[in-house]
Amino acid sequence: MEKFETFSGIAAPMPLVNIDTDMIIPKVFLKSIARTGFGANLFDEMRFNRDGTEIPDFVLNKPQYRSAQILIAGDNFGCGSSREHAPWALDDFGIKVIVSTSFADIFFNNSFKNGMLPIVLPQEQVDVLMADAEKGENARMTVDLEAQEITTSDGDVIKFEVDAFKKHCLLNGLDDIGLTMEKEASIDAFEAKAGAARPWV
């Protein structure tokens, strides 16, 4: 997993509430356990007509937001089923930060495990970021995880809270495997000691 430190990107406004995991990646596309390839079908039913043509009014189909890497979303983002494919699809598309007033717990935790940063803020601060995102591709935001700050295109700074352990994992690029490997020396020492005590195993 890549380290997440300071990130700057285009923010797309998506004020819909209760965006669930089936909206993020419809169940028809859940045919693989690989983490890649799902970005093409992100928000499929909102992005595309049934003949495969794009729906021009959908925010990520608009020219100024095609390269968006930050989502400013409505309340209760990521609700619904617990599918991990939802953060996989967002990450594969290029989304690195999602800001909302609230997230479904499982989606929230899965996002961190897949290298994305979900940020919870009060409605009034989300409204400020939503208005900034609506300015289009020139309104780039900067997210500084170490300082726990979002800087708008106008230079306004909004502080955010993040769990210390999750912050450590993102800053150091540690997923569950990476966390285990941090203990590699202790694991090796234990295995050597156990092997010496029980050589017949």
Residues 26-51: tens digit of each pLDDT: 988 887 776 778 999 999 999 999 99
What is the length of the chain?
201
Bridge partner residues of 98 (DSSP): 71, 118
| Residue 1, pLDDT score | 83
Compute and round to an integer the Cα radius of gyration of the chain.
Answer: 19
Least confident of 12-21, 35-44, 55-64, 88-97: 35-44
- The whole-number pLDDT of residue 133 equals 96
Rounded to an integer, what distance in angstroms lies between the CA atom of residue 77 and that of residue 80?
9
pLDDT digits (tens, 9 = 90+) for 154-194: 999 999 999 999 999 999 998 665 555 555 566 555 555 65
**Residue in this structure with the two tokens 């953060």, named with its chain if needed:** 87
Q: What's the mean pLDDT when you consider all of the chain? A: 89
CB 20 within 8 A of CB 8: no
> Are residues 45 and 96 in contact, defined by beta-carbon separation less than 8 angstroms?
no
Residue 51: both structure tokens together:
């003949």
What's the pLDDT at 161? 97
Residue 116's nearest CA partner among 39, 193, 22, 198 is 39
pLDDT tens per residue across span 115-135: 999 999 999 999 999 999 999
Domains and CATH numbers, the chain: 6-174 (3.20.19.10)
